[in-house]
Structure 1
Amino acid sequence: MNIQAKHYKLQDDELLIAYSQYFGAFDMPDNHMHDTFELYYLMSGERNYFIKDRLYQLRKGDIVFIPKYELHRTLAAGTPHHDRFLIEFSERLFWETIGESYDEILLRPYLRGIRTFRPKPEEQLVLDGIVYRIIRDLKHPQTAHALQVKLLAIDVMLFLARCLERYAEDDSESDPPIHRKISDIAAYINTHYMCPLTLAQLSETFSLSPHYISRIFKEKTGFSFIQYLTYVRIGEAKRLLRESDRKVLEIADQVGFENLAHFNRVFKQTVQLSPSQYRRMSGSPLSP
């Protein structure tokens, strides 16, 4: 199917606000992981959203919270068209705009591991009122004031934080069995990535054929088994490069690579930087 899309956005150093309309069944083409927090609001249609090791079925009105450095990808679901609104932001947004004291409130869903939330109908009316004001300004940037749009985006996050204080996270047992199986497989990879992992091992562990695991994992998450294993390993390597003083050789071994040359090659293919370059670019005070 031919995909058409319309995109509207406002972006600066600490904030991205974007609204997109997709006409046709769209799958995010690449893996997605960034050093900012993300709030995703599905305004129409249905989507499958894979985050780290779990697959979520989204429908109109659902909110998704994605922390920094967490692998995620959206995939087509039951409807061919969808609209989505998102905010990507760093902690600097609070420090520079409304003060550091709001960190604990606005980051609460990310720090508590809440990934999806569906506001009640009356709350969604309030939310849509704010979001549509932002979209109007995104569509007419020549008359919009950037600071006003930014403050409205913060208002969205603050409103949702207040809503979340009143409700518990949805029970994951409502997930379809195949989604729970995919989540189990992804969680297994996330806890065994440092070991030599193969489809044959997964087949034995989960009592499913290698072909079935390969097909269904790709179909439901958008990642092949090898792609996902690689992203998990490289994601952990990036964390260690940012947060530890371990040598690159030690990190390569710790995340499951058999030799340094292979690790360096895969890291550069995935991140577009060598491990040492990434460590410097990340602002880590630690030497490579």
Structure 2
Amino acid sequence: MQPKETVTVHFGEEEGDFFLQQVNRTSPFEAYNHYHSTYEVYYLLSGRRQYFIKDSMYSVAAGDLIFINKHDVHKTSVLGSPQHERIVINFSDAFLGDGHPMFRPELLRLFERDRHQYRLKPQEQWHAEELFRKMTDEIKQQEDGFELSLRLLLSQLLLFASRLKDAEVPATDDPLSPSHRLMAEVVKFMNAHYREKLSLPSLADRFGMSPSYFSRMFRSVTGFTVIGYLNLARIREAQALLAKSSLKVADISEKVGFEQFAHFNRTFKRMIGTNPTRYRKWNS
């Protein structure tokens, strides 16, 4: 019997300075919805996947290269057959970002583009896969200077991707259902209006559905409850304001859409692991 999951390479931690994992799966797998403080590069070697990133849904095919910025919410799930093989790289600013001697701002602008997905042509696939192969070889052998080699290879990958033409993936090759497209529109609306008094009934009514059906569809597509995603959007904005502004914590709570300060405090601590005041002290 064929194994359900074969991990070819696993190096580092997702929230560490550098993480690379190559895995082949033959049974259904759904990544939990999450975000992290590292940049992510996702490459699908075989199969098909569905990807929810920030406020958009993508149909991902073999040879597609995906770039996810720090703190962007994302989730991958089954699309058709569960069999797929993929490579994921996560890296921090300390590894290649601002402040590092090899830092080049133009390489990281790739993660700030509105588009996350690039469908590579055969020659481009070969080039990208050769860079990934060299990285995995460096990790397996771990000879002197292998971390420097990883930085150089990652820089080459980002430079290659930054030169890709910004052409859209053909719509004819997009099998996403109407419900997935609709939920993407819902997420975009929530991202734009989370500061307002939104509720499950009001959102369901706006998009012409019963609250129970709307709730089930939203969770099925995004992996979040409606309120869970709303709170996530608000807390992420609160994190930015705590780190970059001098607003009082109570004013931030109100600004991001919480009606009760105590609710904001509880939600922030549950999601971030510390209270807003301590978070500001550590990050400002």
Q: 1-side partners of 2:207 and 2:186: how far apart? A: 8
Single out whichever of 232-241 and 196-205 deviates more from structure 2. 196-205
- TM-aligned CA distance change 1:5 to 1:12, over 3 Å: closer
- TM-aligned CA distance change 1:17 to 1:153, over 3 Å: farther
Q: 1-side partners of 2:30 and 2:36: how far apart? A: 18
| Structure 1 residue 172, shift from structure 2 partner | 6.8
The equivalent of 2:159 in structure 1 is: 158
- Aligned residues: percent identity? 36
The equivalent of 2:214 in structure 1 is: 213
CA deviations 1:114-168 (Å, max 9, x no partner) are 2111111111011111111212333344688222122112211111112x2x343
Question: Is 1:10–1:138's contact at 8 Å kept on the other side of the alignment?
Answer: no
Out of 75, 96, 99, the residue aligned to residue 100 of structure 2 is 96
DSSP-derived class of the 2:100 partner: helix
Question: Is 2:18–2:92's contact at 8 Å kept on the other side of the alignment?
Answer: no
| Structure 1 residue 20, shift from structure 2 partner | 2.9
Out of 9, 24, 45, the residue aligned to residue 43 of structure 1 is 45
The equivalent of 2:258 in structure 1 is: 257
Structure 1: stretches of 5+ with no match in the other structure: none
CA deviations 1:21-62 (Å, max 9, x no partner) are 143211123x32222322211222222211121121212111
Q: 2-side partners of 1:5 and 1:247: how far apart? A: 49
- TM-aligned CA distance change 1:224 to 1:13, over 3 Å: closer
- Whichever residue aligns with residue 73 of structure 1, its letter is K
The equivalent of 1:236 in structure 2 is: 237
CA deviations 1:182-231 (Å, max 9, x no partner) are 11111111122122222211121111222221111111111111211111
Q: 1-side partners of 2:235 and 2:242: how far apart? A: 10
- Whichever residue aligns with residue 226 of structure 1, its letter is I
Q: 2-side partners of 1:40 and 1:68: how far apart? A: 14
The root-mean-square deviation of aligned C-alpha atoms, in Å, is 2.5
Question: Is 2:42–2:87's contact at 8 Å kept on the other side of the alignment?
Answer: yes
| Structure 1 residue 3, shift from structure 2 partner | 5.7
The equivalent of 1:121 in structure 2 is: 122
TM-score normalised by length of structure 1: 0.86
- Whichever residue aligns with residue 86 of structure 1, its letter is V
Q: 2-side partners of 1:56 and 1:12: how far apart? A: 22
The equivalent of 2:273 in structure 1 is: 272
Structure 2: stretches of 5+ with no match in the other structure: none
Single out whichever of 80-89 and 51-60 deviates more from structure 2. 80-89
DSSP-derived class of the 1:281 partner: helix
Question: Is 1:87–1:153's contact at 8 Å kept on the other side of the alignment?
Answer: no
| Structure 1 residue 109, shift from structure 2 partner | 2.3
The equivalent of 2:80 in structure 1 is: 78
Answer yes or no: is 1:193 the counterpart of 2:197: no
Question: Is 2:17–2:91's contact at 8 Å kept on the other side of the alignment?
Answer: yes
- Whichever residue aligns with residue 83 of structure 2, its letter is H
| Structure 1 residue 11, shift from structure 2 partner | 6.1
Number of residue equivalences: 276
Question: Is 2:16–2:92's contact at 8 Å kept on the other side of the alignment?
Answer: yes
Out of 16, 25, 30, the residue aligned to residue 27 of structure 1 is 30
Out of 63, 66, 69, the residue aligned to residue 64 of structure 1 is 66
Q: 2-side partners of 1:242 and 1:172: how far apart? A: 40
- Whichever residue aligns with residue 123 of structure 2, its letter is E
Single out whichever of 135-144 and 151-160 deviates more from structure 2. 135-144
Answer yes or no: is 1:17 the counterpart of 2:16: no
The equivalent of 2:167 in structure 1 is: 168
| Structure 1 residue 278, shift from structure 2 partner | 1.2
Question: Is 1:39–1:65's contact at 8 Å kept on the other side of the alignment?
Answer: yes
Q: 1-side partners of 2:224 and 2:15: how far apart? A: 30
- TM-aligned CA distance change 1:138 to 1:45, over 3 Å: farther
- Whichever residue aligns with residue 8 of structure 1, its letter is H
| Structure 1 residue 72, shift from structure 2 partner | 1.5
Single out whichever of 139-148 and 215-224 deviates more from structure 2. 139-148
Q: 2-side partners of 1:82 and 1:281: how far apart? A: 40
DSSP-derived class of the 1:268 partner: helix
